[in-house]
């Protein structure tokens, strides 16, 4: 790392103690920025980078709610409004017991550059709660969402901050959040949240967009080597929204998907994952992944507590959560002949894993590029809301495809320009950073 950047990184670590995921996200960006600060020392001298690491606003609030047994529960809510140089803060809400400020800040920091890369006018932010939705009834989820929005509403708005989903927050939760926002404000302000249902301001393709986009990105990377997704054997981790749609798009493009996982283990299916069955188990029944293998039979099996990355494959789409793929798994995948990896989740690969992949010549699409299709389609949803229009599936899908292609090309071209051809990590970080930095410079000391 450049000495100037190293000093700055140490300062960020000192000012944000104990937030290891945020430290990791900052380190990844700083590692990649060496070539750009060498050429343009003004980015460091003007304090742009230091400013970027300090969120514009951080909101932490109490979320009290009553469970089905009449007991009062208390959770902590967060919204980190990180950067609004390019547009209103934009980014999802995560409901998961692991959530604390360090997770929200890592996600918000990533979101700044990801959103810049989409080419859409959106700033970066993220929020969520340490609420654990597992095992909660629908009524409990609703009461929690209503209480969460009772505080959040005063901080958001179509021109201010536009939340969406992330882990633990899907169309159901967005519905409860939107309903409460509407009651409190007495406004049908569809542009205040994205990921809405189709009959009340949602966009077609938004549910599919993150997973679809990640596979489109993998396909683009493979095309630089004269290959494509067609005929690949694909390893997907996770079984939430991103994973299911990554499986769908991989299959549409002619690949065989072998795996999916959840926190209890993984399934491997030598005949290719039966997506309809997996959706039935995970989306409809909200069950455990073992049920997939029990019902599918044949050449499928459930492996409890195993590591999904032990399965050989040519393309990996990690779509579960941060740091799910470590250096040991990276080496196993490389030994087993991995050709490409696109991060469907946010920061699923540890820093060492990423280094191994790049060193071994694996085509590596970092999350802020590869999973940007979700937020890009959120921006398309905002466009439709602003013009009170609804677009067809095909039209929206074509737009997503174009965005992913442009984004891929911009990363590649930037990596080339800065002397690291084929390195998408460098390309994505520099391209995202320069766009935000230039906007901040133009807007004065903000
Ligand atoms: N949570 C998603 C992400 O990580 C989507 C955010 C959005 O649509 O605003 O990019």
Ligand 1 atom nearest residue 165's Cα: 1
Identify the pLDDT of residue 305.
84
pLDDT at position 357 is 98
Average pLDDT of 411-434? 97
| Helix (H) or strand (E) run with residue 416 in it | helix 393-417
Tell me the pLDDT tens digit for each residue of 223-263.
Answer: 999 999 999 999 999 999 999 999 999 999 999 999 999 99
- Active-site pick, 105, 126, 249, 435: 126
CB 49 within 8 A of CB 43: yes
Angle between helices 206-223 and 241-252 (to 10 degrees): 50
Mean pLDDT of the region 285-303: 96
> Ligand 1 atom closest to Cα of 206?
8
Region at 434 (left for phi over 0; alpha for psi -120 to 50; beta for the rest): alpha
Q: What is the pLDDT of residues 123-141, one digit of tens each?
A: 999 999 999 999 999 999 9
Q: Which H helix or E strand runs over 39?
A: helix 20-39
For 300-331, the three-class secondary structure string (H helix, E strand, C coil) is EEEEECCCHHHCCCCEEEECCCCCCECHHHHH
For atom 9 of ligand 1, the residue with the nearest CA is: 91
Quick check: 302 and 289 in contact, CB under 8 A? yes
Instruction: Give start-end residues of each CATH 3.40.50.10860 domain in the chain.
Output: 3-189
Question: Distances from the Cα of 154 to the Cαs of 107, 185, 190, in angstroms?
Answer: 22, 9, 16
> Could you give the count of Cα atoms lying within 13 Å of 297 in the half-sphere of its Cβ?
1
β-pairing, 256-257 vs 233-237, is: parallel
Rounded to the nearest angstrom, the distance between the alpha carbon of 243 and the centre of ligand 1 is 14
Substitution site in 103, 124, 378, 380 for ligand 1 pocket (most atoms within 8 Å of beta carbon):
378
Among 375, 383, 403, which residue has the most ligand 1 atoms within 8 Å of its CB, making it the best to mutate?
375
pLDDT digits (tens, 9 = 90+) for 86-127: 999 999 999 999 999 999 999 999 999 999 999 999 999 999
CB-CB contact of 166 with 132 (8 Å): no
Reference 323, options 2, 15, 22, 18; nearest CA is 22
Query: 386: left (phi > 0), else alpha (psi -120 to 50), else beta?
Result: alpha
Sign of CA dihedral 139, 140, 146, 150: positive
Ligand 1 mean position, distance from CA 167 (Å): 10
Atom of ligand 1 nearest to the CA of 114: 10
Which of the four CATH numbers 1.10.645.10, 3.20.20.70, 3.40.50.10860, 3.30.413.10 does domain 3-189 have?
3.40.50.10860
Question: Which atom of ligand 1 is nearest to 346's Cα?
Answer: 4
CATH 3.40.50.720, the chain: domain bounds: 209-361
How many Cβ atoms sit within 10 Å of the Cβ of residue 61?
A: 17
Nearest CA to 405 out of 373, 435, 427 is that of 373
CATH placement of domain 209-361: 3.40.50.720
pLDDT of amino acid 82:
98
- Name the residue of 164, 240, 318, 344 to mutate for ligand 1: max ligand atoms within 8 A of Cβ: 164
Q: How far apart are the first and last CA of the chain?
A: 26
Sheet holding 363-365, edge to edge: 256-257, 233-237, 315-318, 340-342, 363-365
Dihedral (Cα; 22, 20, 235, 247), 10-degree rounding:
-40
pLDDT at 330 over 90: yes
Cα 302 to averaged position of ligand 1 atoms, centre (Å): 30
Write out residues with Cβ below 6 Å of ligand 1.
90-92, 164, 166, 194, 346, 374-375, 378
C-alpha 378 – ligand 1 centre gap (Å):
8
Q: What is the pLDDT of residues 372-399, one digit of tens each?
A: 999 999 999 999 999 999 999 999 999 9
- Name 366's Cβ contacts closer than 8 Å, sequence gap at least 6: 28, 343, 354, 424, 425, 428, 429
* pLDDT in the model for residue 248: 98
Phi, psi angle pair for 431, to nearest 5°: -60, -45
The percentage of residues in the chain with a pLDDT greater than 70, rounded to a whole number, is: 100
Task: Give percent above pLDDT 90 in the chain.
Answer: 96
Is 114 tagged catalytic?
no
C-alpha 66/C-alpha 313 separation (Å) is 46
**SS3 assignment, position 209:** helix
Calpha distance 387→62 (Å, rounded): 36
Look up the pTM and report it. 0.97
Ligand 1 midpoint to CA 108 (Å): 10
* Mean confidence (pLDDT) of the chain: 97
């Amino acid at each position: 790392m450049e000495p100037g950047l190293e000093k700055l990184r140490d300062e960020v670590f000192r000012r944000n103690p104990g937030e290891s995921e945020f430290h990791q996200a900052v380190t990844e960006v700083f590692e990649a920025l060496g070539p750009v600060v060498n050429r343009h020392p003004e980015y460091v001298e003007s304090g742009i980078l230091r400013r970027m690491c300090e969120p514009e606003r951080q909101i932490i609030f109490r979320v009290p709610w009553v469970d089905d047994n009449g007991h009062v529960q208390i959770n902590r809510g967060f919204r980190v409004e990180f950067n609004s140089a390019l547009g209103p803060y934009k980014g999802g809400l995560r409901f998961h017991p692991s959530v604390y400020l360090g997770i929200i800040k890592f996600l918000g920091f990533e979101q700044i550059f990801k959103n810049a890369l989409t080419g859409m006018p959106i700033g970066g932010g993220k929020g969520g709660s340490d609420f654990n939705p597992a095992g909660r009834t629908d009524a409990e989820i609703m009461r929690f969402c209503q209480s969460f929005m009772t505080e959040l509403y005063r901080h958001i708005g179509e021109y201010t901050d536009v939340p969406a989903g992330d882990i633990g927050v899907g169309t159901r939760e967005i519905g409860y959040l939107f309903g409460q926002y509407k009651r409190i404000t007495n406004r049908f302000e569809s542009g205040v949240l994205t990921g809405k249902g189709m009959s009340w301001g949602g966009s077609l393709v938004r549910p599919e967009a993150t997973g679809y986009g990640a596979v489109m990105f993998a396909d683009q990377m493979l095309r630089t080597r004269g290959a494509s997704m067609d005929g690949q054997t694909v390893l997907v981790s996770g079984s939430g929204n991103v994973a299911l749609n990554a499986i769908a798009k991989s299959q549409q493009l002619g690949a065989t998907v072998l795996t999916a996982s959840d926190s209890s283990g993984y399934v491997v299916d030598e005949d290719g994952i039966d997506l309809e069955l997996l959706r039935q188990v995970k989306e409809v029944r909200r069950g455990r992944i073992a049920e997939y293998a029990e019902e599918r039979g044949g050449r499928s099996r459930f492996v409890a507590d195993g590591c999904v990355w032990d399965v050989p494959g040519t393309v990996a789409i990690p779509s579960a959560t941060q740091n799910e793929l470590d250096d040991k798994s990276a080496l196993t995948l490389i030994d087993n002949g991995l050709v490409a990896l696109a991060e469907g989740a946010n920061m699923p690969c540890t820093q060492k894993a990423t280094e191994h992949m790049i060193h071994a010549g694996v085509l590596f699409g970092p999350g802020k590029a590869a999973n940007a299709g979700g937020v890009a389609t959120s921006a398309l949803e905002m466009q439709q809301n602003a013009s009170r229009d609804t677009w067809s599936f095909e039209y929206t899908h074509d737009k997503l495809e174009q965005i992913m292609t442009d984004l891929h090309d911009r990363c590649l071209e930037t990596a080339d320009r800065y002397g690291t051809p084929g390195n998408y990590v460098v390309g994505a970080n520099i391209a995202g950073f320069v766009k935000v930095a230039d906007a901040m410079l133009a807007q004065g000391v903000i």
